[in-house]
Each structure stands twice: as structure tokens, then as C-alpha cells.
Structure 1
């Protein structure tokens, strides 16, 4: 079935988005729906994945807190950030490691479109940039697989308020910072980012369209 692309203009409540993803996974399993790519923004919140530690949640009162079944630890979602969710059928290849590498490549291609050099890190999942002799995370990745349907996705920092991360230890990492795309490029040049995200998805996953 044809890929469905959704772009939400208004912030989407976290639990509503997760329920939509869970429902889509079931529909894909039943061959009732095709793959999904969904670009959105959440209201400010902290999300904890399956590896999230209580001690890494520093301030329980800063934003609403949600535990989720995606992989990974604590992260921030909210203003100034693109959240890219997907539900992708992997039954034809059944290779999660290759899929994750392709997701990383997809994000790196998006950033490269704006002349932002980035890279993955085998020890610390996500996409990173170098600033002032330090690695800073610009995109966080969290994926779950159910019966070879991969879902959840990644968040990409466009122009977040970095203090919004103060209530957590992001991904359990204490010695690295947080980066924005606007650390490298002015905001007006990012008006086409949704189109770039979609274009690079199609180039990275031509068999999922």
C-alpha cells in the first residue's frame, strides 16, 4: 500500500500521537494500511523510553512526564523541535540494525542539505554535531519493533530553548551538549524543512514508498 504522509500544523498531544501510532501498527499488520511518515510538534514534555532511569529525571515539575515503550532514555519534546514518527513494515527484510543505520543516514542527509555536518555514534545513539571541541546531540532516535513493524522515530532540534532540557539528563549522557540547527543556519532558511525531511526519506527508503 502507498505511504501515507501526515504533517500536523498544530502541536499534537503526546498520548494521542502514541495511540495513533499503535493503531497504525495494528492496521499494517492486518494489511489494512500502508506505511506512515508523520511530521509534528508536541507541547513541551519529557518522554522516558524503556531504558530511562529515575535518577536522570532531575525535575518532575518542569513539564508533563510520559513513560513510553520506545527504546532509549529521557528526552525532551516541544517547542522548536520537529518530531518525525513513522510506522514501517520491515517484514520483507527483517533487519533492524540495517533499518536503524538507514534512519541515521536519513537524518544526516537532511542536515547536510543545510550544510550542517553531522554523524552517528556507536556508543551513544542519535545524531551529533561538533561545536567548540565538543559533541552535541542535534537529533534523538527512539524506535520500537512489533512483529517487524518499526515505529516511533526521532526528534530534530531546530530552534529549541536549550534550558528546556534542564529537567533531565538527556539520554543519560552528562558530558555532551544539545545543539540546534539554528546554531549553524538562520531560521528563515529552514522554511522548507518538512519538504526536505520527506524528500530524504524517499531517497533513503525507496522501497517503503
Structure 2
């Protein structure tokens, strides 16, 4: 079986497909409201009533549990609200300074291949980081994107320390994707201590600012869109900013 590194990540749409809508929301969007909106959009995309959508937002501090979450990995259950996400994966944290990207694509127009889709999302993250001169890497036994930390102490097995900079968690319904990815730009990294992120305790968590890059979420959005279009094709030329009250 091919590794995710070897999988072809080109997920361009079929000829004649309209560009993907690219939505950016200001403020902190409540998780429950985001899920309601995402469910509405996914249903419309699946029925052919709406074009595909990528939605960029930030949440207030919270934890989400994926379908594989182990309750023992929720170390501080009363620290922040905890939501069952319905996506794949385990526990993760969302909060200010983290760019959350909900990706709602009709894979019937692209490739009906879940592994290729996950690898393509990882590729978008890696390309985004590369545009900021940060080397992100895949690990076959760990979903997400990782950065090496040679300045940190070696691991117990003698390996180089690595930190997670971006997480993935997806779900498909009628071959329409939802949920998506998150990139740590400048979140409060101490907030991750209330969980075992993605069920992995041997590695840490980092952010772009933690790595020394003086960037904002808005800066990252520019590179993120460029990377997305390289892998998935064109997005709408007009960025629609949706205030929290609309959601």
C-alpha cells in the first residue's frame, strides 16, 4: 500500500466545475453555530443547490472529541466546553489564534478516494508552511503536520523532538467532505495541556509564532489560499467576510 507521502494529491475538479467559495468569518464563531452552518452547507452541496465551500474561522476556547477519542485523554474536562465533533480522530483544541478551516468539497467532482483527500489536505498545510519557510512533514503513523525541533531534548528513544503544528479531522456524507483542518498561528499553547492532543503524548504542540514567525492569522490566510488553489483548483475571486451574527 502506498504511504501518504507517495499518494498523488492532485484533487483538481472536473472540467466545468465552478470555483470553490472562499469564506472568511471575523470574530470568534461559537462551535455549535458553526456545526449548524456546516451541516446546512453540506446538504446544499450534496443536493447540487450550492457550490463547494472553504470556510475560515476561529472559535472561542474549546475541546472537541472525534469518533476515536479515548475519555482518558481528556485530562481537564471542566477547563473548557467539550463537544462531540462527529469527525474522525481524537481530542483536539480550538481557540483564538488558531486558523480553523472547514473544507466542504464534493469528491464526486474530484477523486472518490479518502486517503488521497487526507493526503491532499496535508499537502495544503505543508505548502502553506513552505511559503513561510517552515518545513512541515507528514508522519505515516501520525495524521497531521509536524515540525522538527532540534533545539529541544531528544525523545526517550533517542529520536529528534517533533511538535504538531496542524491537525486534521474529516467526515464524509454522500462524498461531500466536512470538518477539515486547523493551523496553529498564535494560540495559547498552554490550553492544549487539558487534553492529550490527538491521543499522542510523546510529542509536543507548537505554533508559527512559537517558531519565531511574526505572523497573524490574516497573513497565513493569504498563503493558505494560494496553497489550496495549487492542490484543489480555483476559489472564488471575492472573499466573503461573514460576521458572527450571520452565523
The two structures have a TM-score, normalised by structure 2, of 0.81
The unaligned stretches of length 5 or more in structure 2 are 1-17, 153-159, 237-247
Distance across 2 between alignment mates of 1:197 and 1:28: 22
Q: CA deviation at 1:196?
A: 1.2
Match of 1:171 among 173, 193, 198: 198
What per-residue deviation string (whole Å, max 9, x for no partner) do you get for residues 129-167 of structure 1? 011231110001000011111110111101121110111
Distance across 2 between alignment mates of 1:147 and 1:188: 37
1:25-174 correspondence to structure 2 within 5 Å:
25-92=42-109, 93-131=111-149, 132=152, 133-174=160-201
Q: CA deviation at 1:61?
A: 1.0
Distance across 2 between alignment mates of 1:191 and 1:90: 28
Q: CA deviation at 1:100?
A: 1.0
Structure with greater proportional helix content = 1
Quickly say closer, same or farther: Cα 1:114–1:142, change in 2 above 3 A: same
What per-residue deviation string (whole Å, max 9, x for no partner) do you get for residues 33-75 of structure 1? 0110111100000000100111110111110110111000000
Aligned length: 209
Q: Tell me, yes or no, if the aligned pair for 1:81 and 1:160 is still in contact at 8 Å.
A: yes
Distance across 1 between alignment mates of 2:102 and 2:71: 25
Quickly say closer, same or farther: Cα 1:180–1:19, change in 2 above 3 A: same
Higher normalized contact order (CA 8 Å, seq sep 6+, divided by chain length): 2
Distance across 1 between alignment mates of 2:100 and 2:51: 20
Residue matched to 1:18: 35
Query: Which one has the largest radius of gyration?
Result: 2
RMSD of aligned alpha carbons: 1.5
The unaligned stretches of length 5 or more in structure 1 are none
Quickly say closer, same or farther: Cα 1:42–1:14, change in 2 above 3 A: same
Distance across 1 between alignment mates of 2:77 and 2:99: 23
Q: CA deviation at 1:190?
A: 6.3
Quickly say closer, same or farther: Cα 1:14–1:116, change in 2 above 3 A: same
Please state whether the residue corresponding to 1:166 is helix, strand or coil: helix
Distance across 1 between alignment mates of 2:225 and 2:128: 9
